[in-house]
Chains A and B, each alone.
Chain A
Amino acid sequence: NAGVTQTPKFQVLKTGQSMTLQCAQDMNHEYMSWYRQDPGMGLRLIHYSVGAGITDQGEVPNGYNVSRSTTEDFPLRLLSAAPSQTSVYFCASNNRRGTEAFFGQGTRLTVV
């Protein structure tokens, strides 16, 4: 039982490049979320999903796309990376009651 797995752990992108951050969970959780964490800003919700095929925007969705084709996977796509997207990204999953959140180890992304 691995919990929430994120890949890659580190990534450097050039401005304008695209990439996908992967997130997978093996706990059969309905809810999955993506957060970014910046110094002094705390964790901010980017997008979330309440089940396969259902996604919605969080607090800071601009520049990011998500899809949820299976219960297990919730990838985050950056279509055209910008320096403002330099951050640490965390994926999380919750059970149906939406209480305890399980987080992945994070992806540290630098956009130059």
Chain B
Amino acid sequence: SQKIEQNSEALNIQEGKTATLTCNYTNYSPAYLQWYRQDPGRGPVFLLLIRENEKEKRKERLKVTFDTTLKQSLFHITASQPADSATYLCARPPPGGGNKLTFGTGTQLKVEL
């Protein structure tokens, strides 16, 4: 089955620290992985896409890694701020690509002052 696993427990960190969220997948390695942010009562918003031949991708304070050996992606937020508090979702396409994304359940991040 197509499975994406994210830590269901909320992650609480202090402002200014680096938050690290994990996304593990089973079976096949996808052509890419995507990360989304979701705020309460809102739809997910796309943040980053990392392809299987990219080890690391950065966007401002965000960094994503992709390890096809471990079947894992890590999502980092450096210098975290309370405004970063949200649920972060990982998603992958089916084998061969396409738009039928499978999402993880998401990890809730709380950044405290």
Contact = CB atoms under 8 A, between A and B. Distances in A.
Interface of A: 4, 31, 33, 35, 40-45, 48, 50, 58, 90, 92, 94, 98-106
Contacts of B91: 43, 101
30 contacts: A4-B43, A33-B100, A35-B103, A40-B8, A41-B105, A42-B4, A42-B104, A43-B89, A43-B103, A44-B103, A45-B100, A45-B102, A48-B100, A50-B99, A94-B99, A98-B99, A99-B34, A100-B46, A100-B49, A101-B34, A101-B44, A101-B46, A101-B91, A101-B99, A101-B101, A103-B43, A103-B44, A103-B45, A106-B41, A106-B43
Interface string B22-58: 0000000000101010000111111001000000000
B34 to A, nearest CB: 7
A48 B94 CA distance: 14
Contacts of B49: 99-100
Contacts of B104: 42
Contacts, number: 58
Interface of B: 4, 8, 32, 34, 36, 41-46, 49, 89, 91, 93, 97-106
